[in-house]
Chains A and B, each alone.
Chain A
Amino acid sequence: MSQIHPGISQRYQQCFANLAEKNEGAFIPFVTIGDPNPEQSFEVIKTLIDSGADALELGIPFSDPSADGVTIQQAALRALSSGVNTDICIDILKQVREYAPQIPIGLLLYGNLVFARGIDNFYQDMADAGVDSVLIADLPIRESEPFRNAALKSGIAPIFIAPPNGSEKTLANVAKYSEGYTYVLSRAGVTGAETKATTPADHLVAALKANNAPPSVIGFGISAPEQVKEALAAGARGAISGSAVVKIIENNLADNKAMLTNLSSFIKSMKAATVK
């Protein structure tokens, strides 16, 4: 981890250390950058930060998000149809970094957006924008080498997903190649709050710990404070909630103020559940 790759941003490590001191887990909300439009997007992300998010997971919208359920698909389409592209996402990311110099910022996106910019350019541009980690939804370990190398060269933490069906070898590789944090899938399927996590993640988290993985964070299907508690009880250091957050944007498209108010109270309730 950080000892091996000293160039990697220290924000995740710092964040988890601070939380451990306060005996708290991390709550990490996800939104798509540019949803519902570039102007409101910064306000949305600012609200997540102001309401207590410990780190951010931000998506760059893609036209064909085949690992996402309908809620995040719609978010991507809203962003794209409001004219968002990777350059605009970078502008917004820079604004966010300026507003919150210490918060860890993770990106979640699809591989073709990286190919289109050139792998090395992509990671360098994101590093310049203040991004700490990149998770590519359609990039398994076996295809990851050029991406990992480019990430490390630019000081960005590559993130890999530990799936519920992962073999020992897969989990060992996920542990070996992830920096910053490890994304633990609580269930099969695509993103979405409609399907709750079914399998307890204890064994995954334990296997990752045994392999000295960076801190485990559980995602997929997390939409209520008790699930955050369950994630922490399973040994994870934090929880990611995406579709439930995005749903609040979707439900308040006609009223920007209500959107931010509702986001704020949701984030606060989820964050409160991380206090042990």
Chain B
Amino acid sequence: MYELLAQVMKFLLIGLIYYFLYNFLKLMVLDLYEERRSSDETDYCLRCEDGREFPIRRVTTIGRAKDSDIVIDDPYLSSKHAMIYRRGKRLIIQDLKSTNGTYINGRRIKKPVALKEKDVITMGSRKFTFLRREARGLERGSDL
């Protein structure tokens, strides 16, 4: 009697264990989905003086190296010059021990600094403006 019960029960228990597991896997998928939706693209971009715009992603590296997200061919830049990354809702810029340094609004940064809109970032001889991407359409409109 007990054996029969246990034999039947084992399928039921395995089923329930997998149902539990399925729910938690679903939670993980939800997590990852949320992470991706809110992560990869940010609403900000860097605008170069010559008018080029570089979108900023969750982690954006800037430098001369070909595998940087923003490749800038300028002899005054280091190959891995700086990095902008997202922490929570903020975007933070960090100088990657570059030779000539990274300047925010004219001040050289040593530690990671949170960026504010319209900050001017100077690296080597290049100046970039940190802008919200929604503002881009408006400004372009005004240029025309």
| Bound together | no
